[in-house]
Amino acid sequence: MKKLYYCSGMSDYKHFESKGIRTQSNNELHREHSTPIFMTSSFTFENAEQARAMFADEIDGSIYTRFTNPNNNEFIDKLCLLEETEAGIATASGMAAMFSSMAGLLKTGDHVLASRSVFGSTHQLFTQIFPKWGIGHTYVDIDKPETWARKINSNTKMIFVETPSNPGLDIIDLEWLGGFAAEHSLILNVDNCFATPFLQQPAKFGAHLVTHSATKFIDGQGRTVGGAILGSEELIKDIRFFTRHTGPSLSPFNGWILSKSLETLPVRMEKHCENALKIAEYLEGHEELVSVKYPFLPSHPQQQLAKKQMRYGGGLVTFVVSGGYQRAGRFLNNLKMLSHTANLGDTRTTVTHPSSTTHSKLTEEEQLRVGIDPGLVRISVGLENVNDILEDIVGALEASNEKKILN
C-alpha cells in the first residue's frame, strides 16, 4: 500500500521523536488535525474501473478492513519509518505477527533455526503447531554462537530470535547475526518487542523481518492488543497474501490507539529505562535475592554488547528470590501496589512468575536451560515514582521471608 504522510516533507524529519509524532494520514476532507477513527468494514469505489484496478493491485486504495484501513496504514507507516524498513503489516495480536511472519513464508519441509530463549507461545508454535505441517526447528543457545553454523540444515530457511530475550534478558549480537544470516542466505526474523524501535533497530544490522507485540511498550498503557510485521517489500508481499486470506487483521480502533501511542514512545521508554536501571542497581546484592539481571548492569555478562546495540537497557528487570518457587509465590502475594499480571510494557509496574505462567509449558529442564529458575520473578517497570516501586518490592521481600514470618 502507498504510504500516506501528513506532509510531503516527511523525509525532512531526521529525528525519531518527530517521525513518530508527525507521520499521519493525509485526510483533508474536514481539515482535521488528528486522524479520525475509520470504523468501517468496507470502502466504496468511484466507478467499476477503480474497483477492478484496486483488486488487481494496479492502484492503491482501501477495499476492505481485513486487507487495509487508514488507521492501520498510518500505524504501520510510522513503524516502518521508526524501524527503517520498507513495508509492514498490522495484525490482531503479537502472536498473530509471530505466526504470520513465519507461516507466510515457510512450507512443508522447511526448517527454522531459533534461539532457545523465546516466549512461551512462540515455543508452542515451534513444538506443537508447525510440526503438524512438516515444518521443523532446532534451538540454539544465545551464548554459544560458535555452535550455530553446524545446526543449519540443507532445508533451513529462517532464523528467529528475541533480543533481549523473554524473560532471561539475554542479548544476541545483531551485527554478528546479520552477517551470519547473509553468509548462509537465511531470512533473519527478530522479535523486537522488549526493545522497541526506540532502543534498537534490527534492520540496521541486517534483519529481514522485525516483529512486535504492540500490546506491550508500543501501546504502553495496557489498553489494547495488536502486533506488527515489518521488513522488505519482497517478503512483506508474500506475508500480506497470507494475512489477507487468513484474516488476522487489526481493528481500526486498535490501530488508531497504537498509532497515537507511538507519539509518546520515546518519552515513555526513557522513563521506563531510567526507573528500571535504578531498581536493578538498588536490588543488586540484596540479602533476600540470589541474583538480579538487567542488560545495563555491569554484572550482566553481555553488558557491553547491550550498550553497543541498544540506546538504553530496557524496561524489564528480573531477579531470583532465595527460597525458590514457594518464596516467589509469597513475594507476589505480599505486593501492595504492583500489579500481578502476565502483561508487560504498561505505565503501571507489573510482576510475573514466568515458571508457573508465561513459560509453564516448557519442561523444567527447558526452563533452566534458558535461565528460568523456579524463583525467578520478572518485573516490567512502570512509570510510577521509582521510590514507590522500590518500597513495594522491598516490603514484599521482607514480608515473604519465612524465617521472619515464623519469628
On the question of pLDDT at 7 being above 80, the answer is: no
Q: Mean pLDDT across the chain, nearest whole number?
A: 93
Q: Tell me, what DSSP letter sits at residue 11?
A: G
> Do 237 and 361 lie in a common domain?
no
With contact defined as beta carbons under 8 Å apart, do 360 and 167 qualify? no
Query: Any idea what the CATH number is for the domain that residue 165 is in?
Result: 3.40.640.10
Residue 404: per-residue pLDDT: 64
On the question of pLDDT at 27 being above 90, the answer is: no
Last residue of one domain, picked from the residues 264, 284, 300: 264
> Do 270 and 251 lie in a common domain?
no
In a domain, 131, yes or no: yes
In a domain, 312, yes or no: yes
The mean pLDDT value for 8-21 works out to 70
Amino acid at 70: P
**Among candidate residues 288, 358, 359, 291, the one with its CA nearest the CA of residue 330:** 288
Q: Provide the β-strand partners of residue 293.
A: 318
Q: What are phi and psi of 228, to 5 degrees?
A: -150, 145
> Do 153 and 64 lie in a common domain?
yes
pLDDT, one tens digit per residue, over 277-334 is 999 999 998 999 999 999 999 999 999 999 999 999 999 999 999 999 999 999 999 9
Q: Where are the alpha helices (DSSP H) in 284-373?
A: 303-309, 324-333, 364-369
Last residue of one domain, picked from the residues 232, 264, 296: 264
> Do 254 and 270 lie in a common domain?
no
Q: What are phi and psi of 51, to 5 degrees?
A: -60, -45
Last residue of one domain, picked from the residues 243, 264, 285: 264
Alpha-carbon distance of 170 to 369, in angstroms, equals 12
How many domains does the chain contain in total? 2
pLDDT, one tens digit per residue, over 198-222 is 999 999 999 999 999 999 999 999 9
CA angle, 346 as apex, 340 and 347 as ends, to 5°?
110
SS3 (DSSP) at 34? coil
> Do 237 and 372 lie in a common domain?
no
With contact defined as beta carbons under 8 Å apart, do 136 and 166 qualify? no
Residue 2: per-residue pLDDT: 46
Range of the domain at 171: 10-264
**Among candidate residues 70, 77, 345, 349, the one with its CA nearest the CA of residue 225:** 345
pLDDT, one tens digit per residue, over 239-288 is 999 999 999 999 999 999 999 999 999 999 999 999 999 999 999 989 99
pLDDT, one tens digit per residue, over 147-199 is 999 999 999 999 999 999 999 999 999 999 999 999 999 999 999 999 999 99
With contact defined as beta carbons under 8 Å apart, do 7 and 22 qualify? yes
